[in-house]
Amino acid sequence: MDLFTDWTLRVVALGSGLLGAVSGMLGSFAVLRRQSLLGDAVSHAALPGIALAFLITGTKATVPILLGAAATGWIGTVVVRLIVRRSRVPYDAALGLVLSVFFGLGLVLLTIIQKRPDAAQAGLETFLFGQAAALLRSDVVVMAIVAGGVAVILLVLWKEMKLLAFDRSFGESMGLSMGRIDSLMTVLLVLTIVLGLQMVGVVLMSAMIVAPGAAARQWSKGLGSMVILASLFGIVAGVSGAVLSSVVRGLPTGPTIVLVLSAIVGLSLLFAPQRGLVWRRVHLGRLRRRPRQEPVLMHLLALSLQHPEDPDHGHDLSVLRTMSPADVNVAMALEALAERGLAQRDSSGRWAPSELGRRDAQKTLSREGRL
């Protein structure tokens, strides 16, 4: 009930939900484009910008701190592109290089700040793991504006964004400026990551980008459903993490949100239909328990061809068992073929292929070059 009565909890929960929603929307495209590490690189590249903003302004005001984080985060993405274009370093290696170098620079700057007389008022170490309790109403308003803007941009440029995710070359052949679309997507991603640093922190922000999309991918078959599901997963994780951190004393909000997201990803990997590990194991088990029908149908056709004047001439089950491999349950296979309309049984209990069964078996033999 504190979610409805406690002002601080409402602000934190609303901000966490908005951050989860926008992270899920943009993270879906990052996952599909195999750029999951980009969020990690941008969030770590923002750390030196935070430190430089404090060194220049001497204050931990939100606006200059976020501007500094956005500047170095954007520089990090530009450096990654330059490395990929001007060298033979692959994309993932360039991301890892920028991530480590910028993060190391940020830690060096934080060490320098700690030696200053005003280090106590800096409190920049909170940006490493986040401090959601410091979230203000104005921060939530900014997050709401960003989330709404991202949703509008995705709706307006849905076709272009889809081409960017699946077939960039085809989009370029249609005359679309895919480079600008890519830059716009990167700007939105950088802006989202910068807004989430105060809540989740530099170290864990990449999980907010990757986890909702990775979980939604297990449950969806289309881009639209994936984006919607990823947003919902982000909202659920954000609000749940905020509530849990308020119920359990001393539990940090940012890491709790990430743990909830991790649980959602784990459940999705296990139980999602068609892609979940448990679902696939159960489905494969059912397939293994199904009787092998094709050998029995082939033998029915072979016996039928021995009676061209009477193709419906039936044969005993014992004959089919003698012809079939030992691991084939002939009786169950015949019942399954009968349910499919491929085999028929006469009044004396003898089996023969139906007209449909003969055609199906002959097509199979033709494909295999045996007929």
Eight-class DSSP state of 292 = P
- In the prediction, which pLDDT does 4 show? 61
- Asked if residues 46 and 200 have their Cβ atoms less than 8 Å apart, the reply is no
- In the prediction, which pLDDT does 232 show? 95
75-89 average pLDDT score: 89
**Per-residue pLDDT at 228 exceeds 50:** yes
- In the prediction, which pLDDT does 371 show? 46
Residue 176: C-alpha distances to residues 28, 157, 163, 171, 320 (Å) = 22, 11, 10, 6, 63
**Per-residue pLDDT at 235 exceeds 70:** yes
The percentage of residues in the chain with a pLDDT greater than 90, rounded to a whole number, is: 15
180-204 average pLDDT score: 84
Question: Please, what sign has the CA dihedral across residues 194, 195, 196, 197?
Answer: positive
**Per-residue pLDDT at 86 exceeds 80:** yes
- Asked if residues 342 and 353 have their Cβ atoms less than 8 Å apart, the reply is yes
Question: Which of the two residues, 50 and 274, has the higher pLDDT score?
Answer: 50
Which residue carries 């959602």 as its tokens?
Answer: 264
- Tell the burial category of 223 from Cβ atoms under 10 Å away from its Cβ (0-12, 13-18, 19+): middle
- In the prediction, which pLDDT does 237 show? 92
Token pair listed for 65: 């701190």
Instruction: Please give the class, per CATH, of domain 9-281.
Output: mainly alpha
Q: What are phi and psi of 60, to 5 degrees?
A: -100, 35
* pTM assigned to the model: 0.73
- In the prediction, which pLDDT does 287 show? 46
Q: Helices marked H in the chain — which ranges?
A: 2-5, 7-32, 36-57, 62-86, 91-114, 119-122, 126-129, 137-156, 158-166, 168-173, 178-197, 205-219, 223-247, 253-271, 277-289, 294-305, 317-323, 330-339, 355-368
343-349 average pLDDT score: 84
- In the prediction, which pLDDT does 152 show? 92
Has domain 290-368 been given CATH number 1.10.10.10?
yes
What is the residue-averaged pLDDT of the chain?
A: 83
211-237 average pLDDT score: 92
Domain boundaries, the chain: 9-281, 290-368
CA 24/CA 210 separation, integer angstroms: 8
- Tell the burial category of 273 from Cβ atoms under 10 Å away from its Cβ (0-12, 13-18, 19+): exposed
**Per-residue pLDDT at 156 exceeds 70:** yes
**Per-residue pLDDT at 32 exceeds 80:** yes
**Per-residue pLDDT at 175 exceeds 90:** no
Q: Is 315 helix (H, G, I), strand (E, B) or coil?
A: strand
Which of 38-42, 251-255, 277-281 comes out lowest in average pLDDT? 277-281
Work out the end-to-end distance of the chain between its first and last CA atoms, rounded to an integer number of angstroms.
73
CA 196/CA 191 separation, integer angstroms: 9
34 alpha carbon, distance to own chain's centre: 10
- In the prediction, which pLDDT does 120 show? 53
